[in-house]
Structures are given as structure tokens and as C-alpha cells.
Amino acid sequence: MSLTAKDVAEIVRLLEESSFDELELESGDLKLSLRRGEGGVAPATVSREKTKVSEPAVVAAKPAPKGSAPTDPNAVDVPSPLLGIFYRAPKPGEAPFVEIGAKVEADTVIGIIEVMKLMNSVRAGVAGEVTEILAGNAGLVEYGEALIRVRPT
Amino acid sequence: MPIRRILIANRGEIALRILRTCQRLGIETVLAASEADLGSEPARLADRTLCIGPAPSAQSYLKPETIVQAALGSGCDAIHPGYGFLSERASLARLCEDEGVIFIGPTSAQIEAVGDKLRARAEAIAGEVPVAPGGPAASLEDAVAMGKEIGAPLLVKAVGGGGGRGMKLVEDLAELPQALSMASAEAGAAFGDERVYLERFVSRGRHVEVQVLGDGAGRVIHLGERDCSVQRRYQKLIEETPAPGLSDDFRAAIRAAGVRYAERLDYRGAGTVEFLVDLDRQAFYFLEMNARIQVEHPVTEEVSGVDLVAEQIAIAAGEGLRLAQADIRLQGAAIECRINAEDPSQGFQPSPGTVREARWPSGEGIRVDTHIVSGSRVPPYYDSLMAKIIAHGADRAEALARLRKAIAETHIEGIKTNLVFHAEVLADPEFEAGGMDTGFLQRFFGRKAALAEA
């Protein structure tokens, strides 16, 4: 994977709009570090290093998940698309949509978010294997809060 | 029912203003914030902050279901909507009523009653509150006949409009039929409601509004009036209380009319009844009622010593009116400047960005309502209000002197503000004299332009 100037500009914009001061992005053999300084964001270092890791790892400029650091460094967060009540199963008493170890596709439903009796399906958005379940069943989740983690394949 | 935890469904200075009163009263706060506001001062100071959605208001602050879900999911007894956003959407108040969450404001029925201009006007007539000559017309013939009766110039107003939106000026009655069909089509497109009505155009008018508190059972008190005639394109920039230069009788009459209007609705909570004062006819007409706390409420708080947000909360909690009219003592005068992230030298264009340094004024009689500190961001998604600087004094002259000094002391770096504009207006002889009509700013800009050319 390579980054164009446009990609970097887009990433800088994301950082500027976020509440974070630093962003690190690693993708394949590319590592990008951004730090906010006086007068906005300036790219600090862009380095390339040859590693055998081929799966992308993303540190998103999103509200930090409330749980611990990912147990699998290559896993990515699946953020909640809405504020609402998160349900892991289609109905009470039924089996959860996904458990740890489950294989998901981008369009696999991983849970439901209820907003005032309106049920919204949440999809994984990424293909891979579920490594962690972060959000509890029937609890309030915020917009952007990490619900589960998936190691992309 | 006592209120223990409040969801603040707003942002910026008003979110912080509500939060401060909650803290003083020992009420827990949950802030509903968009992704763009997670790093704001209100988010830092709230007991809990919930991210309700991405930055654009339509996907966060303007979603009633999300707001009520956030309140229910975080164990809040009540929702304070602030001003703007969902504060005057009957849908939020109704959802709260259905779900058993206290809405800190009027009932959904009251919001609907004052939100429909024609209904609001009919309520005024029924309550013997003066309205400008005019009204709805059933047919074109009726409209033309009514136009002759009112006389030109007159306004064609959209029923769904308000705050200066959805109005058409007709200077020659021959243009009335064409203006009517155009205004109706535009109103349909802008507000989803094609209904329009006619009203006399007041060429020299002042905007005077009465602050009221109602217990929801028919008892209403007032906390004096505010003059908000310093407006640019219907945007208020400087407000003050008392309204300068009104006779005692006139002032008493306009206050009583505001109270009468709210009484007729059995109004609950804090509200403002707006009037247009016709300087040529020495009359006043009902404009609209704002069913919420207003941006300019601090000037009233400064002269009355009443915390309006605390009274809103008490009324919502079922305590009724804790103050009688005789308890309200209005002392001195107060003036407020709205400090916006706008560039006066570029046509008041919004100037969002990061505030590198913010130094706000202090001193006797000075109050600053703001959420901006050094390092704060003014996101481009919302209105540009950064702060309200309010000066209170024993009289208008003292308040004005203090405000001039406070504006001069204020220092903002990193983004453009309208501070210079305020300094110039406060130094203007016409402003110093007081009692200007709403055409003041246009004359002020004209004088400035003439000076620049000379």
C-alpha cells in the first residue's frame, strides 16, 4: 500500500477535526506519525520499513474505546454507528449474532442498536475473525464506541 | 418530583451556563455532545459526556429520538434543551411526555401554539394583546381589500416563518397579488407550509421583549423587558435592559401585555414575548413568543438577581413559581455584547478555527458567559457565538462605561472576532443616546462607509 499526497491531506484533516493530538498509522511497510503543534497539524515523520506483516492495523482518530488495549494488535474496532441500546442477540434468549472466534464478512450483522424502539442492524464493516466483544448486552453505547474487535483477513 | 440528573442537549456557552447552575444546585449533568464537541469545556466539566453522533447537527443535536434515548440510557430525570436546536421542536417535548422524562420547558402543546404564527396571533387577539393590523386572507380579493385597509407599505409573512425569515415587503399595493403568490410558493418550499398573512410594515420600530416565568397553571410573572434593536439581518448583536426611553405607562403596558399573553396559554417555564414598538404611532404590536431560554437572558439576570435556569428547573420539577411579582426588583441597567467568530471586515463571514489565546475581561459588574478558553476550537458546523460579555451598572451610563472597558480588555488570538465592531458601536453617539430603532446598524455602517471615503 502506498499513500498519495491526497491521502495524507485527508488524514491530516481527520486529525484536525478530532480531539486528539497525535495519530499513528501503520499499513504494511508504511508508518505515518502525525502530531498536532502550534498552528495546526504538521506531518512529523513518514517512514517506510520492511516487515513481514501484511495486515493493516489502524489506530483510529475516534473516541477511544473504554475497554483495554486490544489483545490482538492487528485487530480493528467496529464502532457503533449510533447512540443507543446495544443488543448482541436478535431476541432475548436467542444466541448472539457473533461470538469470539466467529468469522465475519463486511455485511455480517454483529448486533442491534435500539434508538427509541427503532431497531438498527450493525454490520461488521470488515471481513475477519472476531477477537473481542467489548460492549455489554442491553447497555447504552455511544456513537463511535467500539462494540467488538475483528482481526481482518 | 425532584430532579437529580439532567441531560444537557446543547453545546457551547449555553451548555456550560446550564451546567454551572446544575453544579450549584447539586444536580448531576450528562452532556449530549457531537463528535466535534468531545474536547469542549462543557464536555470536560460535565459529570458524564455521551457522544450522540457526528459533527453535523442533523445527525446529532437535531435528533429527538437520540436525545431521549441518551437521557433514558444514562438515568437522567430531565432534559434541558437550551436554545436553538431542538428547544422549540414540539416533537422532543412530546417524546419526553410519552417517555416520562421531564422536559425543562413548556408543554408540547404550548410549543405548537406559539410555533404557528397565525395561531400565536389569534391567541394575542383573544388575550387582548395588541397585534399589527392585518391577518390571513381567504382569497385574493380579500387580500387586496385588506391591503387597502392596512395601507402600504405592508408585509406578507409566512405562517411557518419567524426570526426575520419568510417575509416580503410590499411598497405598492399594485404589487400585492404578485407578492402574495411568490411569498406563498417560497413559504411552501422553505417551511413546508404555503400559508401567508398580511401585516402592517413598521418603518421605524424597536424590538422590545418581555421575560416571563409561568407555573403552567395560569400564574405568570415578568422580569422586565429587554431591548434588542441592534440587529444585523435580524441577528441580534447587542441587547439591554431596561429598554431606554420608554415612558412609565408604556413600559408597564408592554410588560402587562407579555404577562397576559403567557397567562392565556397557561404557559409553563421561562419564555419571552416579543413586541415591535412602532415609534411613529407610539404603539406596540405582538410579534411572537419564544418558548425557551434566550441567548440574551443574562441581562435580565443581572438586574433582577434571579437565576432563570434555576427557576426553569424548579418549575419543571413541579415546585411552581417560587417568586411573586412583588419579589422581582429590577436594579440598574445591563447591556450584553455577543462575541462571534466572525470577521467584520469580510462581511461578517464566519471564522472558525482554534483559539490560540483567550483573555476575557473581569471586574465590577462584568459577567462573561463563554465556553472558550485558550486552545478551544470553534467548529465550522455550528453558529459562531463564542461568548456574551455582560456589564451591569447602577444606570445605563455606568453599564456602558464598564462594557466599553471590558470589550477593550478582551483579547482573542487565532481566529477573527467581531470585537472591533462592538467597540465601535459602543462608542457611537446614537448608541450612547439609546432608544434606537432596528435601522440603527444600517445607519451606523453607512456613517462608517462615508467616513472611510472622506
- Nearest CA of chain B to the CA of A68: how many Å? 19
Task: Of B293, B379, B238, B240, give the one whose Cα is nearest residue B17.
Answer: B293
**pLDDT for B381:** 97
Closest chain A residue by Cα to residue B31: A142
Query: Is there a contact between B156 and B172 (Cβ–Cβ < 8 Å)?
Result: no
Task: Please indicate whether, in this complex, the C-beta atoms of B54 and A143 are within 8 angstroms of each other.
Answer: yes
Between A45-54, A123-132, B76-85, B309-318, the lowest mean confidence (pLDDT) is in A45-54
Selected catalytic residue, list B226, B292, B367, B404: B292
Task: Please indicate whether, in this complex, the C-beta atoms of A83 and B66 are within 8 angstroms of each other.
Answer: yes
Mean pLDDT to the nearest integer, A46-50: 38
pLDDT at A13 over 80: no
- A107 interfacial to chain B (CB closer than 8 Å): no
DSSP state of B32: E
Single-letter amino acid, residue B150: I
Average pLDDT, chain B: 96
Residue from A117, A143, A145 whose CB has the most chain B CBs within 10 Å, to mutate: A143
HSE at residue B270, side-chain half, CA atoms within 13 A, is 29
Three-state secondary-structure class, residue B175: helix
Task: Please indicate whether, in this complex, the C-beta atoms of B66 and A115 are within 8 angstroms of each other.
Answer: yes
DSSP state of B241: E
Single-letter amino acid, residue A96: P
Query: Is there a contact between B191 and B163 (Cβ–Cβ < 8 Å)?
Result: no
Task: Of A11, A23, A16, give the one whose Cα is nearest residue A59.
Answer: A23
Roughly how many angstroms between the first and final C-alpha of chain A, as a whole number? Answer: 16
CB within 8 Å of chain B, chain A residues 24-83: 38, 40, 63, 82-83
What angle separates helix B117-126 from helix B248-264, to the nearest 10 degrees?
110
Output A104 or A54, whichever has higher pLDDT.
A104
Task: Please indicate whether, in this complex, the C-beta atoms of B35 and A140 are within 8 angstroms of each other.
Answer: no
Residues of A in contact with B65 (CB under 8 A): 115-116, 118
Task: Please indicate whether, in this complex, the C-beta atoms of A140 and B53 are within 8 angstroms of each other.
Answer: no
**pLDDT for B403:** 98
**pLDDT for A21:** 61
Residues of A in contact with B95 (CB under 8 A): 116
A62 pLDDT band, cuts 50/70/90, is very low
pLDDT in tens, A68-118: 677 788 999 999 999 999 999 999 999 999 999 999 999 999 999 999 999
pLDDT at A44 over 70: no
pLDDT at A55 over 50: no
A12 pLDDT band, cuts 50/70/90, is low
For B19, the grid coordinates are: 451546567
Task: Please indicate whether, in this complex, the C-beta atoms of A17 and B66 are within 8 angstroms of each other.
Answer: no
The answer, as to whether pTM is greater than 0.90, is: no
pLDDT in tens, B308-329: 999 999 999 999 999 999 999 9
**pLDDT for B150:** 93
In the annotation, is B292 catalytic?
yes
Q: Which residues of chain B have pLDDT under 70?
A: 163
Size of interface A-B (CB pairs under 8 A): 53
**pLDDT for B164:** 74
pLDDT at A40 over 50: no
A52 pLDDT band, cuts 50/70/90, is very low
CA gap A64, B405 in Å, rounded: 43
**pLDDT for B415:** 97
With a CB cutoff of 8 Å and minimum separation 6, the contacts of A7 are none
**pLDDT for B176:** 93
Q: Could you tell me where the DSSP H helices lie in B117-175? A: 117-126, 140-150
**pLDDT for A65:** 46
pLDDT at A49 over 70: no
Average pLDDT, chain A: 75
Residues of A in contact with B70 (CB under 8 A): 83, 140
**pLDDT for B137:** 80
Residues of A in contact with B73 (CB under 8 A): 83-85, 139-140
Task: Please indicate whether, in this complex, the C-beta atoms of A84 and B55 are within 8 angstroms of each other.
Answer: no
**Percent of chain A whose predicted confidence (pLDDT) is above 90:** 52
Residue A35 to residues A17, B39, B136, Cα–Cα distance (Å): 13, 17, 61
Task: Of B454, B320, B298, B293, give the one whose Cα is nearest residue B390.
Answer: B298
